[in-house]
Amino acid sequence: MEKTIGERIVDAMPFLDGASDVVQPKVQELLDAGGATARYILDGVWFEVPLHPVLTDVPIGSWTAAILFDGLDLVSGRTAMRNAADASLAVGVAGGFVAAAVGFSDWRYTSGGSRRMGMAHAILNSAGLALNVTSLLLRASGRRNAGRLAFLAGYSLNGMGAHLGGELSYKYGLRVNRNAFEATGPDDFTPVLDEAELSGEEMRRIEVDGAGVLLSRSEKDGRVCAIAATCNHFSGPLEQGEREGDTVVCPWHKSRFDLCNGKVLNGPAVFPQSGYETRVRDGKIEVRAVDENIQEKVR
């Protein structure tokens, strides 16, 4: 696949890997020290969506409004416009810090090109944020024109950072539901395995109509359960995970899912696993996709 301009620029800066080697473990340590509640909030588990894209709307919107109000202030000289510009800038700065915390949390799982691009994204946005804080201080000290210039420089850096953030989502699929792009599986019940082949505590990955499906038997009632075998967080192989009761823990970042309904029981994943209906006919386990999963797929 041909590289984007953003990737080519980022790849020409090997120091980004060195910086990531230093910063990534520190971010993980910080989040571990913050406890499960902090991780759940930052990962978006309680909200059932990744939070970074939502939170970045606050600084982007506020700073764009601040640019507008700065322009109106210059043209009209009205105090109301000046105050509105300062207030918008301040709201954006506050939102920027929160978005940065969540962004670092998302970034801690990346590697290779996405980690490099994430570091470039973070450096640009942190520099932009620092310039915007400087702008607030300059404005407060009466040096408004210098403050405006600092803000314009910060806004430009944040714009470049935002572009790389878009590439992280659209090119690398960071925090995207990985199940959405997989095959839906069969529309009708399809035999996939002899029932006798699935023992009590086993988790068995099978492929059917291009979909990877994780089969297991419920410890509670012995029924056959089926969910997508690929973790929707970062595509971890759930069949290699640990089974604990009727749940599976992803081997990569420890998300825990219900083996029978795909529900997220522990993050960092925020989306439930795609589920499948099962039945046993003539000694064979049969599987078919459920309607809601078919509707959620990207076609």
CB of 115 to ligand FES, least distance (A): 14
Residue 64: what residue type? Answer: T
Asked if 252 touches ligand FES (CB under 6 A), the answer is yes
What are the C-alpha distances in Å from 68 to residues 1, 60, 63? 39, 13, 9
Distance, CA of 270 to CA of 220 (rounded, Å):
25
Which residue lies nearer to ligand FES by CB, 138 or 231?
Answer: 231
Asked if 233 touches ligand FES (CB under 6 A), the answer is yes
User: Which of residues 269, 285, 287, 289 is near ligand FES by CB under 6 A?
Assistant: 269
Which residue lies nearer to ligand FES by CB, 184 or 255?
Answer: 255
| SS3 of 38-87 | HHHHHHCCCCCCCCHHHHCHHHHHHHHHHHHHHHHHHHHCCHHHHHHHHH
Asked if 231 touches ligand FES (CB under 6 A), the answer is yes
Stretch that binds ligand FES, among 47-55, 61-69, 126-134, 231-239 (CB under 6 A): 231-239
User: Which of residues 253, 263, 284, 297 is near ligand FES by CB under 6 A?
Assistant: 253
Distance, CA of 115 to CA of 102 (rounded, Å):
15
The tokens 């990877």 sit on which residue? Answer: 212
What is the distance, to the nearest Å, from the Cα of residue 236 to the centroid of all Cα atoms in its chain?
Answer: 15
Residue 171 main-chain phi, psi, to 5 deg? -95, -45
Token duo for residue 110: 């990346």
Stretch that binds ligand FES, among 19-27, 157-165, 248-256, 291-299 (CB under 6 A): 248-256
Stretch that binds ligand FES, among 50-58, 130-138, 251-259, 271-279 (CB under 6 A): 251-259
Which residue lies nearer to ligand FES by CB, 56 or 255?
Answer: 255
Question: 42 - beta bridge partners?
Answer: none
Stretch that binds ligand FES, among 5-13, 43-51, 115-123, 229-237 (CB under 6 A): 229-237
Residues that bind ligand FES (CB under 6 A): 231, 233-234, 236, 250, 252-253, 255, 268-269
